[in-house]
């Protein structure tokens, strides 16, 4: 008979609370400045024990926010299944200390109701997510992308109804353009389900959301902002300093391609490395620091394929 090792969270997990947490917009919620994303490294193709160690390290050090989506894996849905197993094995006693998000918007199942922003899709998707994660509710549910063909009212009213049904405590949107963000903010405020947070890509190589005014809009209107891919999927680290490691995201070749390692990226990296050296930081820490310094950023959502990577990233804000 297999004896499962029991997990007990560290008693010191909140010892850095003063520096770790930041208020999310003008809400009552505090989020860790370093949050953990499940897009990669938590799927059914990944070793469960490694995923487990990464989440233990996270929670033991106060990283209370885990970010998921219906189609994270691979295979689609399997990152949520991993979270479900982690809840059963380790985290059930700590449910109220965790802030778990999921999303729907991208392709999840075949046919006309398996993606975008219809009420039909969002409702069904969240029910599936809750079943996979073995949860009664999520802390935060996102519309994962803007749907230009579904009336915004339909998508937003569904988000309101999801909160009213107790399936999510808060609402967020991700990858919506500025005009749609304005509309969403107003629509949700009028229904007393305030927009908690916007999730968008922001890093030293991609400042589009700042240039478009999305970050400023969130800051001016008390909406939190969480930056995804703050390390540009690993480009803004020393991961590729000696070539392409066999176990790296670039070696897998699907989401990060060798062609992305351009001269412009190399030049930016050189600058980040120089700044890191002057500040006594690692390259990843300097890259994360830059994002966290931008006005309006609540948290950075990092990925990690090892405990050491997450430790390196966390040491941006706590030593
Ligand atoms: N809303 C959206 O549309 C959207 C889109 C993308 C992501 N997200 C969210 O954002 C999260 C983070 O995205 P991301 O994974 O692209 O973030 P990222 O932090 O930019 O990249 C993570 C990858 O960088 C490498 N890495 C991380 N820390 C490192 C370190 N200290 N030293 C060296 N390499 C390091 C690892 O690559 P290796 O795997 O090669 O080791 C890791 O898998 C996702 O999990 C998801 O929750 C949301």
Any idea which residue has 């449910």 for tokens? 95
Q: Is the CB of 35 under 6 A from ligand 1?
A: no
pTM for this structure?
A: 0.98
pLDDT at 1 over 60: no
Q: Is the CB of 305 under 6 A from ligand 1?
A: yes
Give the mutation target among 304, 307, 310, 315 for probing the ligand 1 site: most ligand atoms within 8 A of CB.
Answer: 304
Is the Cβ–Cβ distance between 99 and 68 less than 8 Å?
A: no
Q: Is residue 5 part of a domain?
A: no
**CATH at 259:** 3.20.20.100
Q: Is residue 9 part of a domain?
A: no
Q: Is the CB of 248 under 6 A from ligand 1?
A: yes
Q: Is residue 35 part of a domain?
A: yes
**Angle at alpha carbon of residue 82, lines to 79 and 86, rounded to 5°:** 140
Give the number of domains in the chain.
1
Q: Is residue 116 part of a domain?
A: yes
Of 1-15, 76-90, 160-174, 229-243, least confident by mean pLDDT is 1-15
d(CA 55, CA 264): 34
Q: Is residue 81 part of a domain?
A: yes
**Angle at alpha carbon of residue 25, lines to 35 and 186, rounded to 5°:** 120
pLDDT digits (tens, 9 = 90+) for 201-225: 999 999 999 999 999 999 999 999 9
Of 3-17, 161-175, 232-246, least confident by mean pLDDT is 3-17
The closest residue, in CA terms, to atom 15 on ligand 1 is: 303
Q: Is the CB of 283 under 6 A from ligand 1?
A: no
pLDDT at 123 over 80: yes
- Which atom of ligand 1 lies closest to the CA of 106? 3
**Domain assignment of residue 137, given as a range:** 17-314
Q: Is residue 98 part of a domain?
A: yes
What does the pLDDT read at residue 2? 58
Neighbours of 110 (CB within 10 A): 8
């Amino acid at each position: 008979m297999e004896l499962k090792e029991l997990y007990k969270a560290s008693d010191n997990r909140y010892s850095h609370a003063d520096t770790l947490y930041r208020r999310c917009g003008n809400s009552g919620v505090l989020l860790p400045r370093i949050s953990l994303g499940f897009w990669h490294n938590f799927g059914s193709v990944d070793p469960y024990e490694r995923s487990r160690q990464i989440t233990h390290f996270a929670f033991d050090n106060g990283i209370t926010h885990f970010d998921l989506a219906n189609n994270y894996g691979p295979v689609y849905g399997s990152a949520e299944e991993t979270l479900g197993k982690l809840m059963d094995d380790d985290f059930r006693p700590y449910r109220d200390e965790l802030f778990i998000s999921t999303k729907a918007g991208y392709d999840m199942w075949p046919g006309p109701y398996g993606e975008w922003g219809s009420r039909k899709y969002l409702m069904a998707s969240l029910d599936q997510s809750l079943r996979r994660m073995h949860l009664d509710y999520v802390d935060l549910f996102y519309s994962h992308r803007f749907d230009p063909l579904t009336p915004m009212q339909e998508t937003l009213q569904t988000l309101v109804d999801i909160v009213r049904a107790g399936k999510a405590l808060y609402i967020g949107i991700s990858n919506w353009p500025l005009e749609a963000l304005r509309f969403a903010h107003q629509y949700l405020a009028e229904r007393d389900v305030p927009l908690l947070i916007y999730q968008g890509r922001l890093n030293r190589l991609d400042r589009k959301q700042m240039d478009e005014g999305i970050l400023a809009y969130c800051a001016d209107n008390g909406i939190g902002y969480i930056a995804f891919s703050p390390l540009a999927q690993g480009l803004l680290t020393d991961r590729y300093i000696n070539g392409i490691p066999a176990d790296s995201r670039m070696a897998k070749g699907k989401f990060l391609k060798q062609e992305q390692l351009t001269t412009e990226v190399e030049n930016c990296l050189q600058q980040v490395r120089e700044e890191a050296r002057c500040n006594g930081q690692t390259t990843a820490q300097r890259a994360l620091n830059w994002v966290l310094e931008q006005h309006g950023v609540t948290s950075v959502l990092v990925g990690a394929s090892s405990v050491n990577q997450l430790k390196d990233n966390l040491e941006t804000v706590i030593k």
